[in-house]
């Protein structure tokens, strides 16, 4: 899976939880889940669980700590996929 | 320093399915999960503990400048439904929680006695922000007072501490 495909899948995952459509429309690797997309911090768990399901990976607690923006999420997904 | 967090219980019911597989495991320690499963009202316990963690995290984040998603490192010691503590990497925060049918609101402070010095803000208070961190200017002393603001659904709560010396 290339970067574009990963980011597209990630966008599909976060879409139901975003509260700032404008930031979502211009989403880049630097986009922050909470500060930019205004995802409720309790819903960040859902994002993480959805990523686990969609990519069939397990995000351990240490990785979860970094899950605050698109770039970290992509890094974690790539790393976990490569370990499979 | 102060932190707060409010949960609109009606919105939370709509936004979050806390019974979802894996949900509680990601954000609550085994001890906290036991409090939830043994609780008279598990849902209220979920949001009670969650709001305490969020309130404590706001202080932790402002003091350490560490930004991370660390619900499991913020461990609640329950105490009772209104008072408890949250510890995080050797730091300890005292929490006060108000529970109604409509919302749950928690406030975290660094010392227990500061819970007696909480001042609620209203829409007339002029709140400014630097680096995303809100503050107000004390009219009398012109000193900067850190505040904490939380907004969820129908509810907005802003808090600060009376005494300037304990705002540090």
Residue A84: is its pLDDT beyond 90? no
φ, ψ of residue A13 in degrees (nearest 5): -70, -45
pLDDT surpassing 90 at residue B166: no
Q: Check whether B131 has a pLDDT greater than 80.
A: no
| pLDDT > 90 fraction of chain B, expressed in percent and rounded | 83
Domain span at A18: 3-82
What chain A residue is nearest to B15 in terms of C-alpha separation?
Answer: A43
A58 contacts on B by Cβ (under 8 Å): none
**What percent of chain A has a predicted confidence (pLDDT) above 90?**
94
pLDDT at B165: 61
| Contact in structure between B24 and B30 (CB atoms under 8 Å) | no
Give the mean pLDDT of A21-35: 96
Model confidence band, residue B13 (pLDDT cutoffs 50, 70, 90): very high
Write down the pTM of the prediction: 0.94
Average pLDDT value for residue range A7-32: 97
Average pLDDT over residues B123-139: 85
Supply the pLDDT for residue B144: 87
- Bridge-partner residues for B148, per DSSP? B159
Q: Who contacts B31 (Cβ-Cβ below 8 Å, separation ≥6)? A: B75
Measured between beta carbons, the chain B residues lying within 8 angstroms of A61 are: 26, 72
List of domains in chain B: 2-167 (3.90.470.20)
Quote the mean pLDDT of chain B. 94
pLDDT of residue B132: 74
CATH of the domain at A45: 1.10.1200.10
Give residue B40's pLDDT band: very low, low, confident or very high (50, 70, 90): very high
Q: Report whether pLDDT(B150) > 60.
A: yes
How many structural domains are present in chain A?
Answer: 1
SS3 of A24-81: the string is: HHCCCCCCECCCCCCCCCCCHHHHHHHHHHHHCCCCCHHHHHCCCEHHHHHHHHHHHH
Residues in B lying within 8 Å of A, measured between beta carbons: 12, 15-17, 20-23, 26-27, 50, 54, 67-73, 132, 152
Check whether B167 has a pLDDT greater than 70.
no
In this prediction, residues B121-144 reach a mean pLDDT of 86
Whether residues A45 and B26 touch (CB distance < 8 A) is answered with yes
Per-residue pLDDT band at B47 (split at 50, 70, 90): very high
Task: Give the per-residue pLDDT at B51.
Answer: 98
Predicted confidence band at B143 (pLDDT cuts at 50, 70, 90)?
Answer: confident
């Amino acid at each position: 899976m290339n970067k574009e495909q990963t980011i597209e899948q990630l966008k599909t995952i976060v879409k139901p939880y975003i509260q700032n459509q404008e930031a979502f429309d211009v989403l880049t690797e630097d986009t922050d889940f909470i500060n930019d997309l205004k995802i409720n911090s309790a819903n960040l768990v859902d994002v993480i669980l959805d990523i686990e399901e969609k990519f069939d990976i397990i995000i351990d607690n240490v990785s979860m700590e970094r899950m605050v923006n698109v770039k970290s999420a992509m890094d974690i997904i790539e790393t976990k996929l490569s370990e499979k | 320093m102060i932190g707060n967090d409010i949960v609109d219980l009606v919105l939370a019911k709509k936004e979050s399915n806390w019974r979802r597989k894996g949900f509680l495991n990601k954000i609550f320690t085994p001890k906290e999960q036991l409090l939830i499963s043994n609780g008279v009202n598990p849902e209220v316990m979920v949001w009670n503990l969650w709001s305490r963690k969020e309130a404590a995290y706001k202080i932790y984040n402002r003091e350490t400048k560490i930004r991370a998603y660390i619900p499991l490192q913020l461990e609640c010691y329950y105490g009772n439904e209104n008072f408890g503590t949250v510890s995080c990497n050797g730091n300890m925060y005292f929490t006060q929680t108000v529970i109604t049918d409509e919302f749950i609101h928690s406030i975290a402070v660094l010392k227990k006695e500061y819970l007696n010095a909480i001042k609620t803000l209203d829409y007339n208070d002029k709140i400014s922000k630097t680096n995303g961190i809100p503050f107000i200017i004390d009219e009398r002393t012109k000193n900067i007072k850190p505040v904490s603001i939380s907004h969820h659904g129908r509810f907005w709560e802003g808090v600060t501490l009376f005494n300037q010396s304990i705002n540090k």
